[in-house]
Amino acid sequence: MNPWPRWTDLLPAVCIFGLVWYGSSIPAEQMPDSGLLAFDKLLHIGEYTVVGAGLLWTVRRSPTFANGVARFCFVLAAGLVWAILDEIHQGFVGRDSSMYDLLADCLGLSGIALASGLGWLKKIPGFERLWKAGTDKAA
């Protein structure tokens, strides 16, 4: 079995990355004002929880990342690289780059990665079937 993900396993993560990049490209003047600083951070946590889920999907069949610790480290490292690039990108389109945004992104990534590493996601009804989808097929 190939230890690396198939290219089709990358599609969800690539699509999610594209949506994050598109959302970050919206100039600050065109962003709705929520009036709440905390709401912005909650959006970052939610957004990067979804990014982490896409990264988990990418490596779900790979024996290299079968270990919960390996998955946690991969999701955190790959997601953090994307979060840093996203914050740099925001600086070029007239939006604020913030270490607090980066911290919120890390919280979202850590939450989903930790839930996966500890097996909490498998307790969600129907999740096991979705997670194992296609794993019986030859890579």
The per-residue DSSP string of 67-83 comes to SHHHHHHHHHHHHHHHH
- Give the Cα separation of 66 and 3 in Å (integer): 10
SS3 call for 22: helix
pLDDT per residue as tens digits for the range 50-71: 999 888 888 877 777 777 788 8
pLDDT at 1: 58
- pTM, entire model: 0.74
SS3 call for 62: coil
Q: Are 20 and 47 spatial neighbours (Cβ–Cβ below 8 Å)? A: yes
pLDDT at 79: 92
- Give the Cα separation of 79 and 48 in Å (integer): 8
The top-scoring range by mean pLDDT among 1-10, 59-68, 121-130 is 59-68
- The residue to which tokens 């988990």 are assigned: 56
